[in-house]
Amino acid sequence: MKNILLSIKEIINSGKKAALCIIIETKGSSPRKTGSKMIVFEDGSQEGTIGGGSLELKVIDDALEVITKGIPAKFSYELDDDLSMNCGGDAEVYIEPVLPQQQLFIFGSGHIGKALVRYAPDFGFAITIIDNREGLDKEFDQNKIRFLNIEYIEAAKEIEFTEQSFIVIVTPKHAYDEDVLAICAKKQFAYLGMIGSKNKVALARKRMLSENILTEEELDKVDMPIGIKFNAQTPEEIAISILAKLIDRKNRKNL
């Protein structure tokens, strides 16, 4: 098995889900000893082994459950009584989910977008920022984020969002916001939010319904006005409001 840390890093960057399984204690006879490791992927395939046989098959089943729940757990196995393994003995296995970084797409690199870029990486978000204005890419560390200097509408159409994607719409113009929203709301996402006052949001909602751009059901999935509701005023405070909502939605997905 190649370096376990390298494998985990590759999984996190791949967008796939997996679980790390480690034998943390054994008693009596067991196929592998304490410290043996195995990675189980969400399709049931594996990398490495903790000894094969019934134990490994049961650990794979439990690992798939851990991946689904997103919560680490410790499991105890009686190899003789529970798994009918002739070697006998007991084993405890710690299983921890290895989940991909949440992909955060920010449409607009104005004051709020920039503040969000500063804060969001510390909370497990991998950031792509989209802005059609020239020269703004130089304001960001390209080793830490991906900057797409293309038209908002083009990006909204071309990016393949998934159920793990978080989308924040904070462009410099209301028209851009609504056009991007109209496209993104038809795609997969974990979270979609658009900035705007209550009046702006109400007018946008009314127009999209009357012109059959989006349905009531699609609009109800959008967080607008964006963010946790508190008296945020500065761009930094608004960014914190948005980030709080992103964290809340991210953690709820793992409950």
Helix (H, G, I), strand (E, B) or coil at 112: helix
Q: Are residues 84 and 117 in the same domain?
A: no
Task: Please give the model's pTM, rounded to 2 decimal places.
Answer: 0.72
Q: Are residues 94 and 114 in the same domain?
A: no
* Mean pLDDT, the chain, integer: 86
Top-confidence residue, 253 or 126:
126
User: Residue 71: its pLDDT value, please?
Assistant: 87
* pLDDT exceeds 60 at position 85: no
Treating both helix axes as pointing N-terminal to C-terminal, what angle do 198-210 and 174-184 enclose, rounded to 10 degrees?
A: 50
Q: Are residues 77 and 136 in the same domain?
A: no
Considering only 77-86, 99-108, 141-150, 229-238, which range has the smallest mean pLDDT? 77-86
User: Residue 107: its pLDDT value, please?
Assistant: 96
* pLDDT exceeds 70 at position 86: no
Q: Are residues 224 and 197 in the same domain?
A: yes
Residue of 215, 144, 228, 226 lying closest to 186 (CA atoms) = 215
Q: Are residues 241 and 120 in the same domain?
A: yes
Q: Are residues 237 and 128 in the same domain?
A: yes
Task: Give the pLDDT band of residue 28 (cuts 50, 70, 90).
Answer: low
Strands, E assignment, 72-203: 73-78, 90-98, 102-107, 125-130, 146-148, 165-169, 191-194
The enclosing domain of 115 has a CATH number of: 3.40.50.720
Q: Are residues 73 and 123 in the same domain?
A: no
**Residue span of the structural domain in which 66 resides:** 4-98
Among 70, 98, 126, residue at a domain's last position: 98
Tell me the mean pLDDT in the region 66-81: 85
Among 98, 123, 145, residue at a domain's last position: 98
User: Residue 255: its pLDDT value, please?
Assistant: 43
**pLDDT (tens digit per residue) in 231-254:** 888 989 999 999 999 999 988 855
* pLDDT exceeds 60 at position 82: no
Tell me the mean pLDDT in the region 139-154: 84
User: Residue 91: its pLDDT value, please?
Assistant: 85
How many structural domains does the chain have?
2
Q: Are residues 84 and 106 in the same domain?
A: no
**pLDDT (tens digit per residue) in 218-232:** 999 999 999 888 888
Structure tokens given for 58? 């049961």
Q: Are residues 64 and 29 in the same domain?
A: yes
Q: Are residues 35 and 152 in the same domain?
A: no
Q: Are residues 42 and 158 in the same domain?
A: no
User: Residue 2: its pLDDT value, please?
Assistant: 56
Tell me the mean pLDDT in the region 87-96: 82
**pLDDT (tens digit per residue) in 161-215:** 988 899 999 998 888 999 999 999 999 999 999 998 899 999 999 999 999 999 9
Task: Give the pLDDT band of residue 140 (cuts 50, 70, 90).
Answer: confident
- CB-count burial class (<10 Å; 0-12, 13-18, 19+) for 149: middle
The span from the CA of 253 to the CA of 50, in Å, is 30
Among 47, 67, 98, residue at a domain's last position: 98
